[in-house]
Chains A and B, each alone.
Chain A
Amino acid sequence: MTVPSPNVAAGPAVQVDGVSKSFGPKDNQTQALSGVRFGADHGELHLVVGPSGCGKTTLLSIIAGTLRSDAGDIRVLGQSLSAFSDRQLTEFRGAHIGFIFQQFNLIPTLSLVENVSIPLLLQGVRRREAEDRAGALLARVGLGDRRHRNPLELSGGQQQRVAIARALVHEPQLILCDEPTSALDSRTGHDIMDLLAGGARAGGRCVILVTHDPRTYGFADRITRMEDGRVEEVLSGAAVQQFAAQPH
């Protein structure tokens, strides 16, 4: 089976139309998403914000293909995810999407370079080449001299840098971030957002970032604000800066 290829020329990086998702038994369902429409472009840092339980993470999981929607269409990098089998979804995710998690999810028993090389190894890249490329990326995020250290020897901010390197190492067109700054102090969070915004704009990637950390709002190109499983508004341009300046 071949890994489905992205169709970058076919419009936005992510296009979600009328997506719904509910959890729980039929007689007692919780509606996590109701007819959500969402779009994100290449080269854009797109924030999804809203209070806890508003459906941000569910939307991110559906875009990642780790969760199937009940209804609606999801197009990621020009491909309709609903047409994929589970195995195709796994392969597509591995090849074209990078992930940054709130808890970093670095494997503590592996060195930094081994952690960063994992996405490449999953693509079948040979170990030496994978570690060379991982080492180069660690140098780009300022951790080249610590490539053989273990994650637990690093600060939270440094661990998140490693996670960013891991998300970028296989050069995906889409990066999905789940609360990447919530465990970090203000200054470190600012550095991480700089890195993510730079990575998105320089590489023509689409970075979608789910957060409720107001410190990150000012970095966004667009902000989608959600509430009760629905998209309340989509902000762009000056509206983003106005939103970021408001007290939250």
Chain B
Amino acid sequence: MYHIALKMLMADRGKYIMLVGGVAFASLLMTQQNGVFRGLLSWTTSHMRNVRASIWVVEARVVTANETKPLKDTDLNRVRSVPGVDFAEPLFLAVTKARADSGGEKPVQLVGLDASTLFGRPPVMLEGDLERLRLPNAVIIDTLATVRLGEGLGRPMRVGDTFEIHDREARVVGICKTEKHFFGYPYVFTTYDKAINFSPRQRKMLSIILAEPSPGQTPEEVAARIGRETGLHAYTSAGFSQATTDFVWANTGIPASFLTTITLGFIVGIVISAQTFFSWFLENIRHLGALKAMGASNGLLARLLLLQAFTVGLIGYGLGVGLTAIFGLIVLPFEKPPFLLDYRSLVLTGLAVLLICLVAALLGIRKVSRLDPAIVFRG
């Protein structure tokens, strides 16, 4: 009987396309908006992937990677002295202004690395030599910076070009690839001492201490020990990412805005699918009554309706997710808008579609269980 149910469903082309289209639209809206939202969230934690370290030690009141408070220089040695810390290095991290040949000022994310270890180095070097970062005035810029700072040149900035950071000359010795940051500022890497020289002088200049646990120690254990013994806040990389995204959830309207769109997608999906399925059901009620008169049990009819609803759901979900994937493939090279489609989005959308189908099927099942087969004898 199941092939009969599927044929009954698919033969009514208009309704079938409307049903599948409703679910596909809902799936597309939910996954696409979720993907853009997650992409945006991932941008807020790009420091953790562009400057890689297992443990990030910050001032005790810091709750997000995008808003640090300076530490005392002595804090570095305090962290180094905590048992279980293999090594700890300073990191300068601040938004500052760079001026290219065009004269226009561009904000950049300045990252100062320990000169001896270059710990926190750029993840992917595209051009140049990382070791040359130790040369005077040397900086490594990311691909976004080559475009932004090269506007006045009429071409992307290259290795050997110069620009100014707070009136001090910076010479490009390398070009790297980074993940884009939420604020949209390009990354400029240099050594810690040069970063301090590039920036306006303040009493405390140390932004973050990066640390690695000794062999046999987990980052979680060592971070907790650093926190206990220094009074500073030591996050694992994952913990700092989580704290940063939690901050976005708690302090910005971005999640609410995206959740509204995702919820609307879900509601529209339910309304279109459930309503269309129910109207299809009402059009076929005499046939279902005839099947019941001919010996189809309520259980069998319920299974047929569930099969129909979940078939529509599966096809609609596949189409919606497929369209989202195509959207992702188109926008990812440009990173506009940000996009990150992970398994959680797919599972959540799948569960939402499951719910949509269940609601649609239950409306029909409720009706069919009360359907009097004698309806077929009533002209």
Binding site for B on A (CB under 8 A): 57, 60-61, 64, 66-67, 87, 90-91, 93-95, 99, 101-103, 105, 107, 109-110, 114, 118-119, 121-123, 127, 178-179
Which of B4, B284, B295, B379 is A94 in contact with, Cβ under 8 Å?
B295
What are the residues of chain B within 8 A of A101 when measuring CB–CB? 290, 376-377
Tell me whether B294 and A110 are in contact (CB under 8 A).
Answer: no
Give the dominant DSSP class at A's interface.
helix
Tell me whether A114 and B377 are in contact (CB under 8 A).
Answer: no
Given A101-B377, A109-B7; A93-B294 close (CB under 8 Å): yes
What are the residues of chain B within 8 A of A107 when measuring CB–CB? 4, 8, 284, 287, 290
| B280–chain A nearest beta-carbon distance, Å | 11
Tell me whether A64 and B293 are in contact (CB under 8 A).
Answer: yes
| B237–chain A nearest beta-carbon distance, Å | 58
Tell me whether A110 and B8 are in contact (CB under 8 A).
Answer: yes
Binding site for A on B (CB under 8 A): 1, 3-4, 7-8, 11-12, 284, 286-287, 289-297, 300, 372-374, 376-379
Given A66-B373, A90-B297; A103-B286 close (CB under 8 Å): yes
Which of A105, A119, A121 is B376 in contact with, Cβ under 8 Å?
A105
Q: A57-B377, A64-B374, A122-B295 are in contact. List 9 more A-B contacts (CB 8 A).
A: A64-B377, A66-B293, A93-B293, A93-B295, A99-B293, A118-B1, A118-B291, A122-B1, A123-B295
Which of A91, A103, A109, A122 is B379 in contact with, Cβ under 8 Å?
A103
| B113–chain A nearest beta-carbon distance, Å | 69
Give the dominant DSSP class at B's interface.
helix
What are the residues of chain A within 8 A of B7 when measuring CB–CB? 109-110, 114
- 17 sampled A-B residue pairs with Cβ under 8 A: A57-B378, A64-B374, A67-B372, A67-B374, A90-B292, A93-B294, A93-B295, A94-B294, A99-B290, A101-B376, A103-B286, A105-B289, A107-B287, A109-B8, A110-B4, A114-B4, A121-B1
What are the residues of chain A within 8 A of B293 when measuring CB–CB? 64, 66, 93, 99
Closest 3 CB pairs of A and B: A94-B295, A109-B11, A105-B290
Tell me whether A91 and B295 are in contact (CB under 8 A).
Answer: yes
What are the residues of chain A within 8 A of B300 when measuring CB–CB? 122
Q: From B378, which residue of chain A is reached at the shortest CB distance?
A: A57
Q: Report the bound CA distance from A114 to B286 in whole Å.
A: 17
What are the residues of chain B within 8 A of A67 when measuring CB–CB? 372, 374
Q: Report the bound CA distance from A102 to B379 in whole Å.
A: 7
Tell me whether B294 and A122 are in contact (CB under 8 A).
Answer: yes
